[in-house]
Amino acid sequence: MKSNTDEVDLDSLFKGLKRVRNSILLSFYNAIQFLIRSWYIILILFIVGVILGYISMKFSESKQEATVVIRTNFNSEEYTYNAIDILAKKVKAKDTVFIEKNGFRGDTLEIKDIEITPIFSFKDLAEEFQDDERNIDALLRNLNFQDITEEKVEPFRSSFKYHTLFLTLSSVANDATIDNVINYLNNQEIIKNLGEVGKKNIEDQIKVNANTLKQIDSVISTYSTSQSLPSPNSQIFVVDKNFNISNILEMKENLQKANKNLKEDLVFADRTIISIDSNAAVIESKGILSNKLLLYPFLFVFLFLFFAFCRHVYRYIKRIAAEQ
């Protein structure tokens, strides 16, 4: 008796699964038949969506973004930030006279927004506070390097050489726009003067240090051979063997390091503001709604099918309610 009951249960189960399968296949068949009957409506909606998407993309301006790393020389950081702030305000105010005067297109706005933030460098901070150990100790105690934010770095922005420019650009902008931003900064009167004076100072300091190094080498050579050194007025004096030669050697080492650093700085000294990533690509911002040629057609077709499905479900529930 139990065996017969089990066979009946299994038979009922298979029949139930068969009914579910048939119901799914029937629903799939009905959906295909509905699509075939409604093909002209779907086609019309698709064409209308393509047309509206094309019109929308033609008359709406796409947005681009670019990120550029710059190096500021000769303590020009604060002037650079001020110049960027002014440019950002002029862009928002759509001051085409100012924008065109500074090398940008006047018929359309290339820049929608621009921001600048410092790139944290412990080396730059250490060089800034090397003569003030108390201040740098206090700074290190209060600065959590695992949680460095723009707000925490902002008070020390003038201590950093490298900074990041974030640009929001219009569709007409290109790499020349980024070059114009760098040119705009370098053409600021104060920044331009700092560049001219700063480069000459570096070159002069390298020459002075090189000359001092020659004199130190002469002193060391004379010291080691127990000879006398001629003075600038052609008089003769004897080198004092009791002076501290270690101080002279330390001075030589410091001057050599200083000249090495100065020559490295001279590489970047042609301009006050240098674009490190001069070939920065302009990246188009691509969001979900960016390609309206595809978005609108599929959206219209989806809405049509969705409302058709809702209508079908409503009529099915209504029929069940009537039967009850």
DSSP 239-280: PPTTS-HHHHHHHHHHHHHHHHHHHHHHHTTTSSEEESSTTP
Quote the Cα angle for 315-318-322, to 5°: 140
Q: Which of 12-26, 97-111, 167-181, 297-311 has the lowest mean pLDDT?
A: 12-26
User: Is residue 87 a contact partner of residue 184, using CB atoms and an 8 Å limit?
Assistant: yes
Q: What is the pLDDT of residues 138-179, one digit of tens each?
A: 555 555 555 555 555 565 667 788 899 999 888 788 888 888
pLDDT for residue 322: 82
Give the residue with greater pLDDT, 60 vs 190.
Answer: 190
- SS3 state at 69: strand
State the alpha helices, DSSP H only, in 60-119.
77-92, 96-101
Q: What is the mean pLDDT of residues 227-236?
A: 48
Where residue 234 falls among pLDDT bands split at 50, 70, 90? Answer: very low
pLDDT for residue 188: 92
What would the two tokens of residue 112 be?
Answer: 């929608």
Q: What is the mean pLDDT of residues 109-124?
A: 83
Residue located via tokens 């740098």? 136
Give the residue with greater pLDDT, 97 vs 225.
Answer: 97
Q: What is the mean pLDDT of residues 201-217?
A: 89
Ranges of each domain in the chain: 1-31, 199-266
User: Is residue 173 a contact partner of residue 111, using CB atoms and an 8 Å limit?
Assistant: yes
- Alpha-carbon separation of residue 98 from 78, 88, 91, 93, 197 (angstroms): 21, 11, 9, 10, 27
> Residue 84, Cβ neighbours under 10 Å: how many?
19
User: Which of these, 67, 112, 108, 63, lies nearest to 91 by C-alpha position?
Assistant: 112
Q: What is the mean pLDDT of residues 292-303?
A: 87
User: What values do phi and psi take at 200, rounded to 5?
Assistant: -65, -40
Residue located via tokens 């009905």? 30
Strands 273-275 and 236-238, sheet pairing: unpaired
CA distance 23 to 26: 5
pLDDT for residue 236: 43
Q: Which of 74-78, 133-137, 244-248 has the lowest mean pLDDT?
A: 133-137
Count of helix runs (H) and strand runs (E) in the chain: 11, 7
pLDDT for residue 235: 43
Specify which of 180-189, 236-245, 269-278 reaches the highest per-range mean pLDDT: 180-189
Share of the chain above pLDDT 90, in %: 18
Residue located via tokens 């000459």? 200
213 has a pLDDT exceeding 80: yes
